[in-house]
C-alpha cells in the first residue's frame, strides 16, 4: 500500500499538471509574446526579436494608463459593494437562519446554475429603455422618459457585476463566521456587551479575514473583466480588459495585447501584496 509520501504525489500530481498546462504555460507564452518586437499575430515561422517596445508604447500612451486606473477603481468599488452586501447575508445564514441555513444557502447558489451570459443579458433587458426598471419608474411617475444612465454606462457595469458576485462573495464570509466560537459572544454578553457591541467588537474582527478574502476574490477577476462591459457598458463603460481583447482579436496585435495583460497582472499582484502587508490577517483573526 502507498504511504503518505507516495499518496501525496499521486493526489497532487494531476491537479498540478493541469495547472501547469492550462495556467502556467499560457502565462509564460503571454509574457514571451509581450517581449516580441513588431506587431500582428504570432506565427511559428515569424522572426522572434526580443524587445520592450510594447511596454514603452503602453506607458507612453496616457489613454491606456487612464483606462487601467479607471478599471482598478471600478473593480475596487465593485469588490467593496459586493463585500458589504454579502456580509449581512452571511451573518443571517450563520446566526439567524437556524435549521433553514442549508436551504437558504442552496437558494443563494441557485443562480450559478444559470449561464453567466444569460444572467448578464437578463440585466441588459432590465436596464434597457423598455426594461423592467424604466417601466417601473415611469409607471410610478418618477420619470417621464427612460433613463439612459441605466444602460451602456459604467453604473450599469457596476450594478450587473455586483449582482453577479454577491452570492459567491457571501461564501468566504459565511465560512469565517462558522468558525467563530460562540463562547466569545457569550463571554461578551456576560460582561455587559449589547448586541451591537458584540457585533462590532467580536463578530466583525473575527470574520474580517473572510471579508478580506471576499474583497480580493471579487477584485482580482473584475479588473480584467470584458464580457459584462461589452454587453451592458457600451463605449462609456469600457474597461481595460476590452482593450486587451481588441488587440488579440480585431487588431490582431498579440504582442501589444500581451504587454497590456502583463502590466495589468503585475499591478493587480502588487496591489494585493501591499494590501496584505497593510492588513495583517494574523492579527485581525486573533
Q: Is 36 helix (H, G, I), strand (E, B) or coil?
A: strand
pLDDT digits (tens, 9 = 90+) for 53-98: 999 999 999 999 999 999 999 999 999 999 999 999 999 999 999 8
Q: Are 124 and 232 in contact (CB under 8 A)?
A: yes
pLDDT exceeds 80 at position 44: no
Q: Is the pLDDT of residue 106 over 80?
A: yes
In order of start, what are the domains of the chain with their CATH numbers? 50-95+154-284 (1.10.3720.10)
**What does the pLDDT average to over 231-252?**
91
Percent over 70 (pLDDT), the chain: 93
What is the pTM (predicted TM-score) of this model?
Answer: 0.88
**d(C-alpha 181, C-alpha 186), whole Å:** 9
Place of cell 490577517: 281
pLDDT in tens, 126-146: 888 877 888 888 888 878 777
Q: What is the CA radius of gyration of the chain?
A: 23
Query: For 170-213, how does the pLDDT look when each residue is reduced to its tens digit (9 = 90+)?
Result: 999 999 999 998 898 889 998 888 889 999 999 999 999 899 98
Q: Report helix, strand or coil for 50.
A: strand
State what percent of residues in the chain have pLDDT above 90. Answer: 50
Sequence-distant (≥ 6) Cβ neighbours of residue 68 within 8 angstroms = 240, 263, 264, 267
C-alpha cell at 210: 473572510
Residue with cell 441555513: 101
DSSP state of 192: T
Rounded distance between C-alpha atoms, residue 33 and residue 46, angstroms: 12
Amino acid at each position: 500500500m502507498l504511504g503518505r509520501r507516495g499518496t501525496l504525489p499521486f493526489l497532487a500530481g494531476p491537479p498540478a499538471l493541469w495547472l501547469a498546462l492550462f495556467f502556467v504555460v499560457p502565462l509564460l507564452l503571454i509574457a514571451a509574446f509581450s517581449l516580441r518586437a513588431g506587431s500582428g499575430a504570432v506565427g511559428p515561422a515569424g522572426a522572434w526579436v526580443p524587445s520592450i517596445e510594447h511596454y514603452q508604447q503602453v506607458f507612453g500612451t496616457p489613454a491606456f494608463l487612464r483606462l487601467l486606473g479607471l478599471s482598478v477603481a471600478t473593480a475596487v468599488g465593485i469588490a467593496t459593494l459586493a463585500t458589504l452586501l454579502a456580509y449581512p447575508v452571511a451573518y443571517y445564514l450563520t446566526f439567524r437562519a437556524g435549521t433553514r441555513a442549508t436551504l437558504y444557502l442552496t437558494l443563494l447558489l441557485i443562480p450559478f446554475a444559470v449561464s453567466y451570459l444569460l444572467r448578464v443579458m437578463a440585466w441588459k433587458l432590465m436596464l434597457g429603455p423598455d426594461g423592467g426598471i424604466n417601466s417601473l419608474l415611469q409607471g410610478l411617475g418618477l420619470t417621464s422618459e427612460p433613463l439612459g444612465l441605466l444602460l451602456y454606462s459604467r453604473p450599469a457595469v457596476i450594478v450587473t457585476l455586483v449582482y453577479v458576485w454577491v452570492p459567491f462573495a457571501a461564501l468566504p464570509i459565511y465560512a469565517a463566521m462558522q468558525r467563530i466560537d460562540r463562547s466569545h459572544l457569550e463571554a461578551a454578553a456576560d460582561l455587559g456587551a449589547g448586541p451591537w457591541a458584540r457585533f462590532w467588537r467580536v463578530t466583525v474582527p473575527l470574520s474580517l479575514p473572510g471579508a478580506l478574502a471576499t474583497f480580493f476574490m471579487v477584485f482580482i477577476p473584475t479588473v480584467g473583466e470584458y464580457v459584462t462591459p461589452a454587453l451592458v457598458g457600451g463605449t462609456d463603460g469600457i474597461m481595460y480588459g476590452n482593450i486587451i481583447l481588441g488587440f488579440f482579436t480585431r487588431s490582431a496585435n498579440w504582442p501589444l495585447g500581451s504587454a497590456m495583460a502583463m502590466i495589468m497582472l503585475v499591478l493587480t499582484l502588487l496591489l494585493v501584496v501591499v494590501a496584505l502587508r497593510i492588513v495583517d490577517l494574523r492579527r485581525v483573526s486573533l
